Structure 1
């Protein structure tokens, strides 16, 4: 149903496979968000039963990440997003299409109207720049 309702958004020059993938990806993301909203972690469950005794749940560790891990992950995502935004536009678009949209270099070339080899070259140059940018950010963070 989602594909049918999203059909008017398909551009005539846009590859069908990448559009189909994007619609499917968005459906999956929506479902994961919906499930996460109703998820109950072990830490949210009652540890004592009605008699005041500890339940068996107190022996089961919470599989969720620790607050420190969440903060580190958030910081890393923030630094990576800033680094990607600082890339030149031609490199940034290739990186976003490769990682966020999971497109092949051939599909990236079609979307950006460039040869596949150029898309690969831009991607590898962008990775070198990202390493430099993230390395510089790491040095300024810890100094």
Structure 2
């Protein structure tokens, strides 16, 4: 692998890590603001300064988000053939949208109706939305070719 590809790979990994960091931070801040009835700045301080266990919990959830996102990317790249996603939803003769985006939309709808811990619910809804946006970006890139 040449130097330019390595630099881009590190850039993409860092970009995904930063995006999943902010997803996790937004989920924690929203949950703390609702549960403890506090301001945004105090909720951010509570995540990082107040308690080591809260910070470790945040870091574990961030790592989980990052791994889930990378696994999603690997799965989507695995179903591509020559840079194109071959598994697509068809209406008539037109290939409309790839199945990975449809599956993510179904998971998103299920997350809206299933009741579980508020922090995880916020977190996974935001993560699924981020994955859907990435899928739509890939669709746009596919149709521009």
Do both share a fold (TM > 0.5)? no
Per residue, is there more helix in 1 or in 2? 2
TM interval, shorter chain, is 0.3 to 0.5
- Structure having the larger proportion of residues in strand: 2
Q: Compute the TM-score of the two structures, normalised by the length of structure 2.
A: 0.33
Larger relative contact order (C-alpha < 8 A, sep ≥ 6)?
Answer: 2
TM-score, structure 1 length as denominator? 0.33
Larger Rg: 1
